[in-house]
Amino acid sequence: MGPYTSILRTPGVPRLFGSSMLARMSNGALGLLLILRVRELGGSYGLGGAVAAAYAVGLAGAAPLLGRLVDRRGQTGVLLATATVAATVLTAIALLPGRPSAAVLVVLAVLGGAALPPVAPCLRALWDVLIPEPARRHAAIALDATSFEAAYVVVPAGLLALGAWSASVALIVAGVAILVGTALFASTPASRGWRSSRRGDDHGALGALASPGVRVLLVVWLLFGAGIGATEVAIAAFAEDHGQKALTGPLLASWGLSSMIFGFLAGRWHPADPVRRFAILLAAIAAGDALAATAWSPASLAVLLFLAGAALAPGMTIGYGLLSDVALPGTITEASTWLVAGLGAGLAAGSALGGIAIDASGPWMSFLIGGAAGALTVGGVVLGAGRLRAAASSRGPGVTSAVAQPDAPSVAGRS
């Protein structure tokens, strides 16, 4: 617990960390809650899926734009505005009367996704300021990743259980959590005082993508998301094929629990060669996903998923740490939101491709697609290793300084 205790004792960190968890804890359930709400309104599962996809499109499309705006204008205004809109839209969907048209539902879903506050990218930008030492920053990112993994397993299950009773109430609860958590986060001195050390528009229209290292990570995250998406849909299909659809949640929990445990352990040690460690962990993820294709029963799949999940959070921790090193000055938030967009697009593509494979051959083929996507991530890191190492060695962290204000003292350099 040593490194994590040190992180949580850093001035300002407990409130930042806790509020960010509150703001983000419902994210993993929103897509399914939208489907449940559509069904509650009398719509089909097909329409519910389209509405959930519209939400994902809005999120992926707007995230980099919001990130660039944060880099140019600061965190507070962007976070408060987006949280207000997101909570309002979720409440509006929850209170829709009768049988609204598909167009209304899709437009609201796109708007809700586009307005989701970029709390996680803002927190990652603040880690670079509050905890600039590489080893401690690695531990901070690991703590964030593993804690969010726990929330991603537990909170969506609770919200979905509530949604089974009333999707409207569950959406309102999610909206309130987003609004309150984001407001608490945005009101912290660190968030209010944060300013990019340099304007992101200095890098032209490409912004964060002007960095070769960021482009490498974006491709890796896109493929990583595809592997996750294909594996998730394979898990659901496997459980249904074995007549135990209710086991989908526990099987996903086995995957997430492993990720949480090993992410927590791995965060205690900062690798001497992050790029090499990143490639090894991605290879382990790919092998685990492919190995899941050999499962013969739900119990065997639970064991295989526990093994497969061991490298997830450790790999993401190193990936986000590399992002801090390769992002150009003034672009750290936008760079982080590009990874959010890439992950979301990959998840959608992997789920779609996995669904086609399941219809054609069965869940085992979707597991293999997940493994193949994982293997491609390894290739991306190996081919882009030179760019990742060159960027990391030629620049320090690409953001960030906190500008002192009367009520928000500078957080730069604190430990």
Tens-binned pLDDT, residue by residue, of the chain (415 aa): 567 777 788 888 888 888 988 898 887 778 778 877 888 888 876 777 788 778 888 888 888 889 888 888 889 999 999 999 999 999 999 999 878 888 999 999 999 999 999 998 888 888 878 877 777 777 787 777 777 666 656 665 566 566 667 788 889 999 999 999 999 999 998 888 877 665 545 556 677 778 888 888 999 999 998 888 888 878 878 887 888 767 777 887 788 788 878 877 776 666 778 888 889 999 999 999 999 999 999 899 999 989 988 888 888 888 887 887 787 877 888 888 888 888 878 877 887 788 788 888 888 898 999 999 999 999 998 888 878 877 555 544 444 433 323 233 322 233 3
Residue type, position 370, single letter: G
Answer yes or no: are the C-beta atoms of 304 and 292 closer than 8 Å: yes
Domain ranges of the chain: 1-195, 203-398
Q: Pick left, alpha or beta for residue 243 (phi over 0 → left; psi -120 to 50 → alpha; otherwise beta).
A: left
**CB neighbour class for 1 (10 Å; exposed up to 12, middle 13-18, buried from 19):** exposed
Which residues partner with 408 through β-bridges?
Answer: 405
Quick check: helix, strand or coil at residue 328?
A: coil
Q: Same topology for domains 1-195 and 203-398, yes or no?
A: yes
Answer yes or no: are the C-beta atoms of 107 and 373 closer than 8 Å: no
CA distance 376 to 395: 27
Answer yes or no: are the C-beta atoms of 193 and 410 closer than 8 Å: yes
What architecture is the 1-195 domain classified under in CATH?
Answer: Up-down Bundle (1.20)
Which residues partner with 195 through β-bridges?
Answer: 401
Answer yes or no: are the C-beta atoms of 230 and 354 closer than 8 Å: yes
Our measurement of the distance from residue 13's CA atom to the centroid of its chain's CA atoms, rounded to an integer in Å, reads 20
Indicate the pTM of the whole model. Answer: 0.75
Burial letters 241-270, b for 16+ CB under 10 A, else e: eeeeeebbbbbbbbbbbbbbbbbbebbeeb
Nearest to 195 by CA among 36, 76, 354: 76
Nearest to 211 by CA among 6, 406, 410, 388: 388
H/E stretch holding 410 reads none
H/E stretch holding 263 reads helix 248-266
Answer yes or no: are the C-beta atoms of 320 and 263 closer than 8 Å: no
Quick check: helix, strand or coil at residue 100?
A: coil
- Kindly list the distances between the CA atom of residue 148 and the CA atoms of 22, 139, 176, in Å, as whole numbers in the listed order: 10, 14, 18
- Kindly list the distances between the CA atom of residue 130 and the CA atoms of 9, 124, 140, 157, in Å, as whole numbers in the listed order: 11, 10, 10, 33
CA distance 68 to 19: 22
Fold category of 203-398 in CATH: Growth Hormone; Chain: A; (1.20.1250)
